[in-house]
């Protein structure tokens, strides 16, 4: 089953960087994941996120309001995959 990853952000530089880093992490670790970007403010607010960028893995907000390191992104994805 593919892991669903969403980047929540309205297109700010940090949001763009989070998308880039997350894509790199998925590719480097051969995660079977589908990455999408959510830019609609109403959808973002539906996740309870007030500060972007945010990283959502399998519908769970794992990081919000800051730009994480690639290592942290990897750990959060692994945590969600391995339950």
- Distance separating alpha carbons of residues 35 and 45, to the nearest angstrom: 19
Place of tokens 């893995």: 57
Nearest alpha-carbon partner for 22 in 63, 83, 60, 59: 63
Q: Is 11 a catalytic residue?
A: no
Active-site option among 10, 12, 39, 40: 12
Active-site option among 15, 54, 55, 57: 15
Q: Is 12 a catalytic residue?
A: yes
Q: Which residues are catalytic?
A: 12, 15
């Amino acid at each position: 089953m593919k892991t669903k990853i969403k980047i929540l952000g309205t297109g700010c530089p940090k949001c763009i960087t989070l998308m880039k880093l997350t894509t790199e992490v998925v590719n480097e670790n051969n995660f079977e994941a589908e990455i999408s970007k959510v830019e609609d403010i109403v959808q973002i607010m539906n996740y309870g996120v007030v500060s972007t960028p945010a990283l959502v893995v399998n519908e769970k907000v794992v990081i919000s309001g800051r730009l994480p390191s690639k290592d942290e992104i990897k750990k959060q994805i692994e945590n969600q995959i391995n339950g």
